[in-house]
Structure 1
Amino acid sequence: MAEIRRETQHPSGMKLGDILFALFKRKRTIIVCAVVGIIAAAAVYFLFPPSYESQAKLLVRYVLERSGVDPAEAAGAAAQSGNQAQADRVIGAETEILTSWDLAIQVAEALGPQRLLPPPQDLFSHVVQAVGLKRLLPSSGPSATVAEAAGSIASGLKVVSDKGSNIILISYKNRNPEIAPLVLQELLSRYFVKHLEVHRSAGAFDFVAQQTDQVRARLNQAEDALKSLREKTGIASLKEGSAAITTEAAKAQEQLNAAEADLAEQQALVRQKTDSGSKTWRKKPTDEKANKAKVAGTQAKIETLKARLSDIQRRTKQLSELAPQIEDLERKKEMDEANYKYFAASLEKARIDEALDPTKMPNISAVQRPSPPGLETKKRDKLSLALVGGGVAFGIVLALLRGLVLNQTVGRPLQLETQLHIPLMLSIPYRNGHFGLLRNGSPANPGALTTGRRRAKLAPWDADHFIRPYCDAIRDRLGLYFELNHLTHKPKLVGVTSVSEEGGTSTLAAGLAASLSETNDGKVLLVDVNLGPEEVHPFFKGKPAYPLNKALKPSDSIASAADNLYLATVGSPSTGGPAQLGLKKFFDMMPNMKASDFDYIIFDMPPLDQTSPTWGMAAFMDKLLLVVEAEKNNREGIKRSYGKLIAERNNVAVLVNKSRSYVPKWLDSES
């Protein structure tokens, strides 16, 4: 009948208990790393060269951007500086000027590299030189260059400004308390000059004067050309001249049309009078002459108007041809006049900037001059704390790496259920510096079962032996298992094996056999599959161990090692050496086992390696106890071995031996 299992499902994955187990197991590693970090922090604290800091503050009200060609309205920039975004840009620009490499070079040249980088005199530098690492120190003294001195200024300089504030805080750190305020003072002096160079061109006056002369010359040329064209066309303004000519042409055309109409009327009247006079009355000569004179006058007027209209048309054509040139010259004149006014105003500003004193700029002032140097310990303290914290953190990371990633063994019994999903029957702790179960073999007799570090006189069936409570618990669970699965036949075969060598199977098998023999339910036979026929089980103080085939014969009388407890091996006296129990030989012994008068036969079986006979014998066992050694057996190996065993017969119970609990009980909620 299949085994009835009531397993508690545990979620897979890493749990808090695994992390605590890894940390407390390797607490020495963490302590060592922490001590190394503390030693390094102490060395830095006492050997780190002291640093002195001087501070200054600048108030930036506004910045006038004058490149020498700005419009006169640029003075309104002060009013625009009230905008927060504009103010932040201004402060950012001034910060970049203060931290620029050009300014650092100017300060380094003014003070001198040897003064800024004197030979080091602190203890740390002497230690570095003493150990032969002088090349790691920066250049100093006569070998220092301007670039290296500027680099030291840039590395020690710090410029900050709070958002929304127009105050710039400038600080400089140096190991020499006399150099710190000196560098800061020189930096501020050079900054004001650099500010004018950036925002107000130093050659503005000459540049603007030259530009003004060029614009004035172009303006004169445009005026002369425009004057010549106006004289040629006879107009003062293109727009007004075009309108006047158009009006004059229209008026002349109107007069010409009127004159032609008058001429036609007069000619018609003369013809009419001539025709009527010849028929009715004779016209006076004076009237005829007057009419002809009037007609002649009208004709002369028409000719004059035509000549005038022709002249107007000629002038109109000439004006239309010269109009583009006049318009271009007028536009050019307007632009040159605007440019001339622009450069005239800029010339006046450049003249003012030329004479402006950098130290008396109204928009930037020093709120605080360089303060006396003060000892600065923040960097040293932060570095010391970082070393201490880094040592502890490195120890924790190393412990977690080794315990959770690199180490693939089963450290905690609960890992069998949470990670391998293998039900756990019992775990036997590592107690009082001794292994939970004793190892197989000894230097004198490698094949024998030894007591290891425990006292040889204390046998597993002794009431004081620590294994007895665990063996009694296993006995009770085996009895419950046999009852639930209706296993009432005799003898009941129980095998004890391990995943690897020295798993403690011999101690467990002997203790379990002794525990079963005390129930008065019948005789118990302990079969040691690991020993040869002439070897003696040390637990039984030299009492003989009989061959298995002899112990199973009902007719043979064998001596008991204890009450209802008998000892046997699988070898024969003729073979000698380690036992060789194959599957066929074991199968041939099955009738004798069933016919024997033993109630339980406990097999102390070899570990599960590739050539172990345990693989074949396991299927014949009514119950197989698989011992896993904590912190030694690989999880994948355990999983493969367990899977292979239950594939043959689902009768395997797993025990964890030598389990340790490194976590304090008040912190270990899973213990």
Structure 2
Amino acid sequence: MVETRPLYSCSDSGNVLQPFELLMAIRRLMEEQSLELINAARLPSHSLRDWVAPCFRHGRLMIVSFLVVLAGVILVTWMIPARYEAQVKILVKRERADPVVNLDPNTPLSTPSLTEEDLNSEVELLKSRDLLEKVVAASGLDTQVKQSFLSSVSEVIEGHPGEQVPPSQLRTVRAVRTLAKSLNVEPLRKTKLILVTYESTDPQLSARVLQTLSHLYLEKHVAVHRVPGALDFFQNQTEQYRQRLLQAQRQLDGFGRENGVVAASMEKEISIRKLADFEGDLQKTRARVAETEQRIRTLEQLEAVTPERLTTQVRKLDNPVLMQHLKSNVLDLEMKRSELLNKFTPDYRLVKDIEVQIAQAREALVKEENNPLHEETTDRNTTHEWIKGELAKERTELTALRAEEAASARVVDGYRSQAQQLNQTEMIQQDLLRSAKLAEDNFLLYSRKQEEARIQDALDQRRIVNVSIAEEPTVPALPSSPHRALNLALGGLLACLVSLGLGYTADYLDSTFRTPQEVEVFLNTHVLASLPKN
């Protein structure tokens, strides 16, 4: 806790302390308490006067610092050499289609759309180290590179690479590193363009470096995107399949001469067609044979039940003599029976015998009456004769049909054997044809690809590729940096900030009391009077 004492008091004699004595007492009190005004609580300032007052109190310091900083900015600005920036724009497109190796001759060429990955690939290709080394060698940048103090220190820290690398290669490495820092490659948004800028102190060198870079980039693009040895490969394959095609054709011709066939498939088709025709005729013949046999059996049955002769006239005649004799015989027997009945009883044996004779005579009479004499007249049966004639013809026709069936069966067997043989021949011939067709397709395919590869080589030689220089680099007429007016404006602003900062810092570090309010706050007592400095 800080002890507070009244600074303005009267002594025992009643005399008032002098101002000098009052200030000395305040100083002693500060030393005793070991307090710094820098850590003391200040009265909060809110007025504009309180903010402007430090500028008047430390005006000399602020003016000097402002002039020093501004002079330094002006000196540095005028000492920085002028740098000239050249630019080139490269258009990436997909107008040139890539060839596609496919058996289908109607396959369209591959023309994919341009993507962001394609643009980024071209950007990385422009930044590739081998391309930058070629640019350095072609533009002579390795002879103009100078080693700065910072680069020397960096090499020392990294382990003295100059001791292991030859001087010429070291200069190239430094030139490539400097070129990579000064070269800016970026794709333009929502376009197919790549902007390449390079900045150096020589405008001619800036344009020359970008011209060399664009020329070498086109060569590298062609070398990267082309297939090495494609033309030679397709030429060798074309010749190889041409020889295979000739060999397959010779084998096919030799096979045809040995087997006596020209087109086995066509001959087999003809044989099968004829085989089908003869098999149809054979089936018809067999059906006719079966029909004829059935007709013969039917005729034989009809012949068996059909008489050879037919009755043409039938007459019924009675036998009057026989009838008269039978009737008289019956009458005589009945008379005898009557005579015997007069003499004997009915059960007498002679009577019974007579009755039996009478019954037999009457039965014979009735039978004769029921079966009169028939007189029939017969003649030859024409139906029977027709059946015999048809039967003879059908048997003859059956013999002919069986002979025809046997001949047709032999022909069918012959064509069937021929078709089977032609089937085997066709399989072998089809295999040879497939080999020849495959060799022909491959020969035509590689012939087309050979021509496409030749066209690709011609396009590469004439630099007709998917990238082109949209804007050639030109020698810049005006420097791109430094911007002196901007640097001076920023330098003035920096000088103002530095001077204000120094003034307010000095005022903050100053332990002098400037107002009675500061004394009251620090001492926690009232000030009765204050004397002006002057």
TM-score (norm 2): 0.50
Root-mean-square deviation (CA, aligned residues, Å) is 6.2
Alignment of 1:200-599 (within 5 A): 200-201=226-227, 203-217=229-243, 236=263, 247-268=273-294, 280=308, 290-291=396-397, 293-308=399-414, 310-311=416-417, 314=420, 318=424, 322=427, 326=430, 330=434, 337-356=440-459, 358=461, 361=464, 366=469, 368-373=471-476, 375-377=479-481, 431=515, 434-437=518-521, 439=523, 460=526, 462=528, 464=529
Could you report, residue by residue, the CA deviation over 1:119-140 in whole angstroms, capped at 9, with x for unpaired residues?
A: 35xxxx47x69x9888589989
Q: Distance in 1 between matches of 2:182 and 2:450?
A: 42
In structure 2, what is the equivalent of residue 56 of structure 1?
Answer: 88
Q: Distance in 1 between matches of 2:394 and 2:421?
A: 41
Q: Distance in 2 between matches of 1:383 and 1:94?
A: 36
Q: Distance in 1 between matches of 2:129 and 2:421?
A: 70
Classify the secondary structure of the residue corresponding to 1:56. Answer: strand
1:185–1:369 CA contact under 8 A, matched in 2 = yes
In structure 2, what is the equivalent of residue 174 of structure 1?
Answer: 200
Could you report, residue by residue, the CA deviation over 1:412-467 in whole angstroms, capped at 9, with x for unpaired residues?
A: xxxxxxxxxxxxxxxxx983584224549xxxxxxxxxx9xxxxxxxx484x479x
Q: 1:260 Cα shift?
A: 1.0
Q: 1:262 Cα shift?
A: 2.1
Q: Between the two proteins, what is the percent identity of the paired residues?
A: 22
Q: 1:337 Cα shift?
A: 4.7
In structure 1, what is the equivalent of residue 130 of structure 2?
Answer: 102
1:69–1:208 CA contact under 8 A, matched in 2 = no
1:252–1:308 CA contact under 8 A, matched in 2 = no
Q: Distance in 1 between matches of 2:65 and 2:240?
A: 78
Go from structure 1 to structure 2 and tell me whether the alpha carbon gap of 1:353 and 1:290 turns closer, same or farther (over 3 Å shift): same
Q: Distance in 1 between matches of 2:73 and 2:132?
A: 33
Classify the secondary structure of the residue corresponding to 1:149. Answer: helix
Aligned residue identity for 1:348: E
Classify the secondary structure of the residue corresponding to 1:144. Answer: helix
In structure 1, what is the equivalent of residue 349 of structure 2?
Answer: none
Q: Distance in 1 between matches of 2:481 and 2:264?
A: 81
Q: Distance in 2 between matches of 1:206 and 1:26?
A: 87
Go from structure 1 to structure 2 and tell me whether the alpha carbon gap of 1:357 and 1:298 turns closer, same or farther (over 3 Å shift): closer
1:44–1:380 CA contact under 8 A, matched in 2 = no
Could you report, residue by residue, the CA deviation over 1:467-497 in whole angstroms, capped at 9, with x for unpaired residues?
A: xxxxxxxxxxxxxxxxxxxxxxxxxxxxxxx
Q: 1:189 Cα shift?
A: 2.0
In structure 2, what is the equivalent of residue 154 of structure 1?
Answer: 180
Q: Distance in 2 between matches of 1:379 and 1:261?
A: 116
Q: How many matched pairs?
A: 383
Q: Distance in 2 between matches of 1:46 and 1:65?
A: 54
1:65–1:199 CA contact under 8 A, matched in 2 = no
Q: Distance in 1 between matches of 2:413 and 2:474?
A: 95
* Unaligned 5+ runs, structure 1: 1-16, 398-428, 441-450, 452-459, 467-671
2:81–2:201 CA contact under 8 A, matched in 1 = yes
1:68–1:201 CA contact under 8 A, matched in 2 = no
Aligned residue identity for 2:413: A
Go from structure 1 to structure 2 and tell me whether the alpha carbon gap of 1:144 and 1:229 turns closer, same or farther (over 3 Å shift): same
Could you report, residue by residue, the CA deviation over 1:606-640 in whole angstroms, capped at 9, with x for unpaired residues?
A: xxxxxxxxxxxxxxxxxxxxxxxxxxxxxxxxxxx
Classify the secondary structure of the residue corresponding to 1:371. Answer: coil
* Unaligned 5+ runs, structure 2: 1-44, 309-384, 502-512
Classify the secondary structure of the residue corresponding to 1:170. Answer: strand
1:57–1:367 CA contact under 8 A, matched in 2 = yes
Aligned residue identity for 2:519: F
Name which of 182, 197, 214 aligns with 2:223. Answer: 197
1:61–1:364 CA contact under 8 A, matched in 2 = yes
1:41–1:387 CA contact under 8 A, matched in 2 = yes
Q: 1:377 Cα shift?
A: 0.9
Classify the secondary structure of the residue corresponding to 1:251. Answer: helix
Go from structure 1 to structure 2 and tell me whether the alpha carbon gap of 1:148 and 1:303 turns closer, same or farther (over 3 Å shift): same
TM-score (norm 1): 0.42
Aligned residue identity for 1:303: A
Q: Distance in 1 between matches of 2:471 and 2:182?
A: 19
Q: Distance in 1 between matches of 2:202 and 2:167?
A: 14
Larger Rg: 2
Q: Distance in 2 between matches of 1:228 and 1:35?
A: 108
In structure 1, what is the equivalent of residue 334 of structure 2?
Answer: none
Q: Distance in 2 between matches of 1:461 and 1:106?
A: 83
Q: Distance in 2 between matches of 1:465 and 1:199?
A: 91
1:99–1:154 CA contact under 8 A, matched in 2 = yes
Aligned residue identity for 1:431: T
Aligned residue identity for 2:84: Y
2:74–2:488 CA contact under 8 A, matched in 1 = yes
Higher helix residue share: 2
Relative contact order higher in (CA < 8 Å, ≥ 6 apart)? 2
Go from structure 1 to structure 2 and tell me whether the alpha carbon gap of 1:284 and 1:173 turns closer, same or farther (over 3 Å shift): closer
Classify the secondary structure of the residue corresponding to 1:86. Answer: coil
Aligned residue identity for 2:279: Q
Aligned residue identity for 2:410: T
Could you report, residue by residue, the CA deviation over 1:105-156 in whole angstroms, capped at 9, with x for unpaired residues?
A: 3223444563252x35xxxx47x69x98885899897462544433333322
Aligned residue identity for 1:105: E
Does residue 1:184 correspond to 2:210, yes or no? yes
Go from structure 1 to structure 2 and tell me whether the alpha carbon gap of 1:222 and 1:255 turns closer, same or farther (over 3 Å shift): same
Go from structure 1 to structure 2 and tell me whether the alpha carbon gap of 1:59 and 1:318 turns closer, same or farther (over 3 Å shift): closer
1:68–1:207 CA contact under 8 A, matched in 2 = no
1:38–1:388 CA contact under 8 A, matched in 2 = yes
Classify the secondary structure of the residue corresponding to 2:519. Answer: coil
Classify the secondary structure of the residue corresponding to 2:84. Answer: strand
1:68–1:349 CA contact under 8 A, matched in 2 = no
2:98–2:109 CA contact under 8 A, matched in 1 = no
